[in-house]
Each structure stands twice: as structure tokens, then as C-alpha cells.
Structure 1
């Protein structure tokens, strides 16, 4: 099998496994929470995205990892992680929390979509071995991140009972 085929199989199965895990273990709990609590959980998961800087760390990734992919992925993850951390720090100021929740989900989703674009354009699937120690990131972690972003947007857009919305507006 070619590296592109193996990478593609890994990526598809990564999404399948993450979706199954999310649906069985995470979604029932997240969907039963009020929006604020659910967004805090999602922000906590994304607060670790500072780890994406590893894409530009020599010795962890191969020297031939395309910079057009690595640099954008690293700094997009960093921006998303910082926004998620800021959201968590702003939980006592609800309007700021909600603004940051929307921001980290929008930036994070755009980052992942653009990373797929840059990876394909740079031919990353053919040289997936250049990912080195972080090969598991696009195969396992990225699907989990994308799924939680989709869940976050769904939860942001679903209608809330009036009592819950009123509670969010006054709780500090």
C-alpha cells in the first residue's frame, strides 16, 4: 500500500472511531448539560491545542515536513488554544465567555479545515512519515477536535429553555 492509501485509511477510521466514541460516551452527557457547562467542557478539551506548536519543533517532526502546512497548523492551533483558555478564564463574565466560546470554535474549525487544504496541497499524505512522533495527531486528535467543534456549534445554536437563558444572563 502507498503512504497516501495508509494515511487515508487511518484518517477515515480515525473519524469513525472518534464518532462512535463520542456518540456513545460523550454526546449523551454533553447534550444533557446546560449550554454553559457543555461549552466549558469543550473549551477544556481545546485548551490543550497549544500542543500544535509541535508541528514546528525540529526533531519531533521530519525536516521535510512542508512548512506551508506545519507553520499554519502550529499557529492556528496555538490561537485556538489561547482563545479556549481565555474562555475558561472568563467563566465569571458570561458575555465575554460566550464571545470567546464562539471565537475559539470559529477559529478552531477554520484552522482544521485550512489544515486539510494545506496538507493536500503540500502533498502531506505521500510524506506522512515526516509527521514523525506526532503522526497520531491528525489521525486521532484532529477528528476528535472537529467533532467537538461541530457539537459546540450545534449546542450554541439549539434553543435553550427560557429559564436557562435567564440564568445565564444574570449568573456571574
Structure 2
């Protein structure tokens, strides 16, 4: 089996495993929470994205990891992680909290999509060994990040719970 096939198989199975786990264990917990607590939980997970800087660390990644991928991935993750931390810090100021929730999700999801694009452009799937010890990041961590971004956008854009509508004076469309 080629390096590219192994990487792609790992990536698909990473998404499959996280979707099963998310549906069975994480989603029920998040849907039982109010929106603020659910977004706080998601932001807490994403606050660890500073770890993406490892793509720039010689000895952890191979010397031939394409800079076109590594640099963008590292700093995109850092930006998303810092925005998630700011959301967590601003929890007591709702308008600013929601601004940072939206920002970290837009930046974070955009980063992941562009990372996929840069990886394909750089031929990374065929050179996955260049990821070195960071190989686990796109296989294990990135699928969970993407899934939680999708769910965060669902929470942000989906219908508001009736209790929230009552508090904000909005009427539900029947």
C-alpha cells in the first residue's frame, strides 16, 4: 500500500471514528447544555490549537515538510486557538464572547479547509512521512476539530431553543 493510500485511509477512518464517538458520546452532552455552555466546551477543545506550531519544530517534523503547508497550518491553528481562548476569557461579556465564538469558528474552519488545500497542492498525502511525529495531528485531532466546527455553526445558525426566544422577545415561527 502506498504512503498516499495509507494516509488517506487513516484520514477517512479518523473521521469515521470521531463521527461515531461524537454521535454516541459528545453530541448528547452538548445538546443537553445551553448554547453558551456548549460553545464553551467547543472553545475549550479548540484552545489547544496552539499545538499546531509543532509543524514548525525541527526534529518533530521532517526537514522536507513543505513550508507552504507547515507555516500556514501552524499559524492558522495558533490564531484559531488564541481566538478560542479569548472567547473563554470573555464569557462574562456576552456580546464579546459571541464575537470571539464566531471568529474562532470562522478562522478555525477556514484554516482547516485551507490546510487541506495546501496539503494537496504540496503533495503531502504522498509524503506523509514528512509530518514525522506530527502525523497524528491530521489523522486524530483535525477530524474532531472539523466536526466540532460544523456543530458549532449548527448551534450558531440553527433555531434557538424556546427558552432563549422567550428571553430575547423573539417569536417562534410555527
TM-score, structure 2 length as denominator?
0.94
The one-character-per-residue Cα deviations of 1:15-73 (angstroms, maximum 9, x if unpaired) are 00000000000001111211111000000000000000000011110000000000000
Aligned partners of 1:29, 1:42: CA distance in 2, in Å? 12
Shift, 1:162, TM fit: 4.6
SS of the residue 2:16 aligns to? helix
| Conserved? CA contact 1:80–1:108, under 8 Å | yes
Corresponding residue for residue 110 of structure 2: 110
Can you give the 5+ residue segments of structure 1 that lack an aligned partner in the other structure?
none
Please give the alpha-carbon distance, in whole angstroms, between the structure 1 residues aligned to 2:60 and 2:52. Answer: 12
The number of equivalent residue pairs is: 169
Secondary structure of the equivalent of 2:160?
Answer: coil
What are the equivalent positions in structure 2 for 1:2-81 lying under 5 Å apart? 2-81=2-81
Greater relative contact order (Cα < 8 A, sep 6+): 1
Cα deviation, residue 160, structure 1: 1.7
Which segments of 5 or more consecutive residues in structure 2 lack a partner in the other structure? 170-174
Task: Give the CA deviation at 1:166.
Answer: 6.0
Superposition misfits of 4+ residues, deviation over 6 angstroms:
none
RMSD, aligned CA: 1.4
